[in-house]
């Protein structure tokens, strides 16, 4: 039985992509898989790091020897991990790396990370882009394990498509385009409204945006500037039930990321979810998104910032729906096979066992 400690600052009841992934991953690390785990987590807003970091270090100083492997949920925990390694050199340390947590543009933070480069037994990277970033910093003991999703998540809608369209005051022939995620610059939502939706204003489409964030006001301004109030709907944060219905009843999912210096997309987990829900996924071929979407296998990769490509693809999907409908089952099956939580958790367990060898 492998004795494992999972240490993370991102965990429920706090809400977010990393929190959700950690919860679902840890749930798969069971005694049936010869794993005896304990969880050391924050589960609160990041302002609580001021006490969690020293608490984590103190806990590890006294308890690190009890474990065969300690898994750290992201690079910020390298400080406590270093002290655990000093007192328990035989306990293996595995650090998960997500991309932005390595290149976050703060000089003090970068100096902090540099102090602990190459101090640990393995680094798990969520994408090839993240691994390349570590290699550029001289860290080579890396392995790529993509993020996973619950393949049973999108099975049954609680209302039919017609009812959903009526509720949002949409005509029956209206196509729904969907984006889900934090509203930050690199997600490209404002760009998509100004450069794509503005050109498609005469088409029977409506763009639904789920999520909140610092770009929300700029997005609203873009909608007003182009008089797209009837074509673009900002829904904010919605319930799991509503999110499920929108995934299952939308037609196209877009992840129109643009390049923003020092702010890469580590991995496109929402694109994976959309593919599972049998949506046609259109995503920018930038940063770590290419690890989530394999062009022609579970979606289509387009050039970041290329509005004509997005416009042409959306129009083609609308004009020839049968051509794309035959792809949906194979796209969803590809995603389920490659990114199931069972498969991803087994890859994590393989990493833990290999560092022990």
Q: Could you tell me which of 313, 320, 281 has the C-alpha nearest to residue 299? A: 281
Structure pTM?
A: 0.83
Provide the residue ranges of all domains of the chain, joining segments of one domain with +: 2-148+340-356, 161-339
DSSP characters over 44-101: S-GGGHHHHHHHHHHHHHHHGGG-SEEEESSGGGHHHHHHHHHH-TTSEEEEEE-SHH
CATH fold for domain 2-148+340-356: Rossmann fold (3.40.50)
Q: State the pLDDT at residue 147.
A: 86
Distance CA 37, CA 286 (A): 36
Low-confidence ranges of the chain (pLDDT < 70): none
**pLDDT, tens digit, for every residue of 130-187?**
898 889 888 889 999 988 888 887 777 888 999 999 999 999 999 999 999 989 999 9
* Topology adopted by domain 161-339: Rossmann fold (3.40.50)
Tell me, what's the pLDDT at 265?
83
Rg (CA), the chain: 21
Q: What's the pLDDT at 308?
A: 97
- What pLDDT is recorded for position 116? 85
- For residue range 181-195, what is the model confidence (pLDDT) as tens digits? 989 999 999 999 999
Contact 43, 56 (CB under 8 A): no
Q: Do domains 2-148+340-356 and 161-339 have the same CATH topology?
A: yes
């Amino acid at each position: 039985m492998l004795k494992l400690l999972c240490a993370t600052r991102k965990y429920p009841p706090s809400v977010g992509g990393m929190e959700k992934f950690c919860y679902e991953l840890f749930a798969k690390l069971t005694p049936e898989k010869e794993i005896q785990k304990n969880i050391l987590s924050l589960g609160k807003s990041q302002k609580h790091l001021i006490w969690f970091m020293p608490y984590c270090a103190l806990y590890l100083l006294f308890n690190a020897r009890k474990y065969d492997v300690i898994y750290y949920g992201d690079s910020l925990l390298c400080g406590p991990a270093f002290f655990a390694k000093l007192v328990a050199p035989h306990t293996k340390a595995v650090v998960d790396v997500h991309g932005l947590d390595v290149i976050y543009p703060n000089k003090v933070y970068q100096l902090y990370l540099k102090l602990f480069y190459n101090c640990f037994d393995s680094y798990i990277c969520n994408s090839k882009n993240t691994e390349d970033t570590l290699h550029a910093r001289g860290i080579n003991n890396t392995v790529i394990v993509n993020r996973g999703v619950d393949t049973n998540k999108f099975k049954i809608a609680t209302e039919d498509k017609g009812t959903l369209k009526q509720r949002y005051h949409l005509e029956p022939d209206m196509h729904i385009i969907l984006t889900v995620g934090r509203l930050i610059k690199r997600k490209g939502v404002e760009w998509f409204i100004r450069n794509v939706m503005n050109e498609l204003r005469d088409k029977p489409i409506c763009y639904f945006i789920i999520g909140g964030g610092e770009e929300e006001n700029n997005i609203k301004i873009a909608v007003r500037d182009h008089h797209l109030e009837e074509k673009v709907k900002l829904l904010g944060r919605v319930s799991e039930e509503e999110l499920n219905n929108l995934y299952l009843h939308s037609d196209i999912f877009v992840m129109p990321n643009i390049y923003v210096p020092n702010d890469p997309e580590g991995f496109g987990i929402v694109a994976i979810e959309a593919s599972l829900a049998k949506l046609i996924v259109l995503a920018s071929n930038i940063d770590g998104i290419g690890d989530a979407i394999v062009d022609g296998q579970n979606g289509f990769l387009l050039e970041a910032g290329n509005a004509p490509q997005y416009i042409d693809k959306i129009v083609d999907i609308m004009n020839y729906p049968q051509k794309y409908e035959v792809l949906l089952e194979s796209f969803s099956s590809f995603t389920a096979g490659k990114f199931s939580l069972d498969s991803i958790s087994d890859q994590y367990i393989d990493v833990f066992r290999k560092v022990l060898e």
